[in-house]
């Protein structure tokens, strides 16, 4: 067992997961937004809403395809690269994955097929139901996969038997307090991503006075949706961080650059820590604020990295139990910082649309096409914090990442897969962005639909 295999597999999992999660949040958010738009079409019968639904639906489909195909890799990778992990936790961890496929993926894929191809074949009501079922399917899928991830973060509902984890209480797995923070946080992040996507592209068209009615209306729907979503992300996130202080104190200590236990605990404005020597190079901190964030009061103990490391050693034996402080610290700040920026922007978007001033002060509206990228930054850094902050554990307190990879692999095999995934993903990302940009710029189809069929010969 060459440890390089494990490290390479970890890189591969990180790259493929981050890539996969570029597409998932937009699927979560845009499916609901498209469903809302089609509901408006269903209720008012206005053709504008149908064009709106089709325009955003097209972008949704382009994005969805990427999410689906990169998702298969995620499921296969557990067995391919992490066979020791799969053997050890499969009894508990496999069930939510199987249920996700059975309950969510079938629903999503079948009804998306019906939705895309069924415009003329289904009744208006059935067609509307199809997109709502796609949205429900996506949400269910998020729940089940996060049940699995939460088990890795905060294992519950099992006993350890003959060197592997065995399911004991399925209900405890489903009601894991960790998942009930993570699931709403992820869902609302997805809604935020969808909202900023729609706001950004709508602003682009509004600025060009192109199909203004349709895009002003889209902007309005997304602004309302977005404000609620970002607000809930922040609220749930705060709650999650408080739970983290109890469940994974090391993650919080690292993300806050808190070396020594403090009561009352200080919040870091700028901390740079040398991971090797565990000494601060720079440390500017505001007293009491971390206690306030952790307990909603001005005092309260937050444990530091050093004490937690000592406690881990006493309980689990010698070893290094400190995740990368640099990565978790900056990921945390990137996530929270973008979160608040988005809250501000969404509120501003709502203000503009409520005052019906979408065409005035264009330079400020010009921010929104760029703000489209903010949710992606927040989502990615959120997952980096979650996953890197759990290290060195793959299953918190039970299995180390270094013990989890497949013993039958060689570094060469993992290099082959790592390189080929990265190359193929890069190529597809290029094609995906090209198509998204093309369709986003083109705008909705004109009211009188027409299609051109070209006759080009490939043979003869």
Partner 1 sequence: MDLNTLWFILIGILFVGYFILEGFDLGVGIWLPFLGKNDTHRRMIINTIGPHWDGNEVWLITAGGAMFAAFPGWYATLFSSFYLPLLIMLLALIVRGVALEFRSKHDSLRWRSFWDWSICIGSLLPALLWGVAFANFIRGIPIDATKNFVGSFWDLINIYSLLGGLVTLTGFMLQGALFLSLKAAEPIQSIARYAASRIWVVATAVLIAAVIATYFFTDILQKLGVNPGPVPIGAVAAVLVCGWFIRQKRDGWAFAVNSLAILFTAATSFMILYPRVLVSILDPNFSLTIYNSASGPQTLRIMSTVALIFVPIVLVYQGWSYWVFRKRITADPSDLHY
| Tokens coding 37 | 């738009």
| Tokens coding 340 | 């608040």
Cα 348 from Cα 80, distance rounded (Å): 47
User: Which range of residues in 114-122, 181-189, 211-219, 345-353 is near partner 1 by CB under 8 A?
Assistant: 114-122
Of residues 116 through 145, those in contact with partner 1 by CB under 8 A are 116-118, 120-122
Nearest distance from C-beta of residue 333 to partner 1, angstroms: 34
Choice between 160 and 274, CB closer to partner 1: 160
Nearest one of 360, 262, 352 to 305, comparing CA atoms: 262
Instruction: Find the helix packing angle between 3-44 and 411-442, rounded to 10°.
Output: 20
Choice between 385 and 418, CB closer to partner 1: 418
Cα 286 from Cα 99, distance rounded (Å): 46
Q: What sections of 266-373 are H helices per DSSP?
A: 289-295, 305-316, 325-354, 362-365, 368-371
Choice between 158 and 376, CB closer to partner 1: 158
4 binds partner 1 (CB under 8 A): no
Cα 45 from Cα 119, distance rounded (Å): 15
User: Which range of residues in 36-44, 180-188, 196-204, 412-420 is near partner 1 by CB under 8 A?
Assistant: 412-420
Of residues 41 through 100, those in contact with partner 1 by CB under 8 A are 61-62, 65-66, 68-73, 75-76, 78-81, 83-84, 86-87, 89-95, 97-100
Q: Judged by CB under 8 A, which of 28, 35, 52, 114 binds partner 1?
A: 114
Cite the beta strand spans of 218-287 per DSSP E.
267-274, 279-286
Q: Judged by CB under 8 A, which of 125, 163, 281, 454 binds partner 1?
A: 454
Nearest distance from C-beta of residue 211 to partner 1, angstroms: 20
Nearest distance from C-beta of residue 100 to partner 1, angstroms: 7
Nearest distance from C-beta of residue 181 to partner 1, angstroms: 24
Nearby residues of 312 by Cβ (< 8 Å), 6 or more positions away: 250, 319, 321
Of residues 147 through 206, those in contact with partner 1 by CB under 8 A are 161, 164, 166-168, 170
Whole-Å CA distances, 4 to 80, 290, 414 = 16, 38, 9
Q: Judged by CB under 8 A, which of 176, 255, 417, 444 binds partner 1?
A: 417
User: Which range of residues in 278-286, 312-320, 385-393, 434-442 is near partner 1 by CB under 8 A?
Assistant: 434-442
366 binds partner 1 (CB under 8 A): no
User: Which range of residues in 239-247, 260-268, 333-341, 409-417 is near partner 1 by CB under 8 A?
Assistant: 409-417
Nearest one of 1, 78, 7 to 414, comparing CA atoms: 7
426 binds partner 1 (CB under 8 A): no
Question: 185: number of CA atoms within 13 Å, CB side?
Answer: 24
């Amino acid at each position: 067992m060459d440890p390089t295999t494990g490290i390479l597999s970890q890189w591969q999992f990180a790259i493929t997961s981050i890539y996969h999660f570029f597409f998932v949040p937009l699927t979560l958010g845009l499916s609901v937004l498209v469903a809302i738009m089609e509901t408006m079409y269903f209720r008012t019968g206005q053709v504008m809403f149908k064009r709106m639904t089709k325009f955003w639906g097209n972008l949704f489909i382009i994005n969805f395809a990427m999410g689906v195909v990169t998702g298969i890799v995620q499921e296969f990778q557990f067995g391919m690269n992490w066979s020791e992990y799969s053997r050890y936790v499969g009894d508990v961890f496999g069930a939510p994955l199987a249920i996700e496929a059975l309950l969510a993926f079938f629903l999503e894929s079948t009804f998306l097929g019906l939705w895309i191809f069924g415009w003329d074949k289904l009744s208006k009501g059935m067609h509307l139901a199809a997109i709502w079922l796609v949205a429900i399917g996506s949400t269910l899928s998020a729940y089940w996969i996060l049940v699995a991830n939460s088990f890795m973060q905060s294992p519950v509902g099992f006993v350890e038997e003959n060197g592997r984890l065995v399911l004991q209480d399925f209900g405890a797995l489903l009601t894991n307090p960790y998942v009930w923070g993570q699931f709403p946080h992820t869902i609302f992040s997805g809604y935020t991503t969808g909202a900023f996507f729609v706001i950004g592209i709508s602003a682009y068209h509004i600025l060009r006075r192109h199909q203004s009615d349709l895009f002003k209306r889209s902007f309005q729907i997304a602004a309302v949706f977005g404000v609620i979503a970002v607000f809930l992300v922040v609220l749930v996130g705060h709650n999650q961080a408080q739970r983290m202080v109890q469940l994974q104190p090391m993650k919080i200590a690292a993300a806050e650059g808190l070396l020594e236990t403090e009561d009352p605990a200080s919040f870091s404005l700028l901390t740079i820590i040398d991971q090797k020597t565990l000494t601060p190079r720079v440390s500017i901190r505001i007293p009491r604020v971390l206690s306030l964030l952790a307990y909603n009061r001005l005092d309260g103990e937050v444990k530091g990295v050093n004490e937690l490391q000592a406690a881990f050693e006493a309980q689990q034996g010698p070893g290094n139990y400190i995740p990368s402080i640099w990565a978790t610290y900056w990921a945390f700040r990137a996530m929270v910082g973008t979160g608040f920026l988005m809250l501000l922007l969404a509120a501003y978007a709502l203000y503009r649309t409520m005052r019906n001033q979408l065409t005035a002060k264009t330079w400020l509206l010009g921010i929104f096409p760029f703000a489209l990228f903010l949710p992606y930054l927040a989502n990615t850094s959120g997952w980096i914090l979650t996953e890197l902050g759990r290290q060195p554990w793959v299953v918190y307190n039970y299995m180390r990442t270094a013990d989890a990879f497949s013993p039958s692999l060689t570094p060469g095999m993992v290099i082959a897969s790592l390189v080929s995934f990265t190359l193929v993903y890069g190529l597809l990302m290029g094609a995906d962005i090209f198509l998204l940009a093309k369709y986003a710029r083109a705008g909705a189809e004109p009211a009188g639909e027409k299609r051109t069929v070209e006759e080009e010969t490939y043979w003869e």
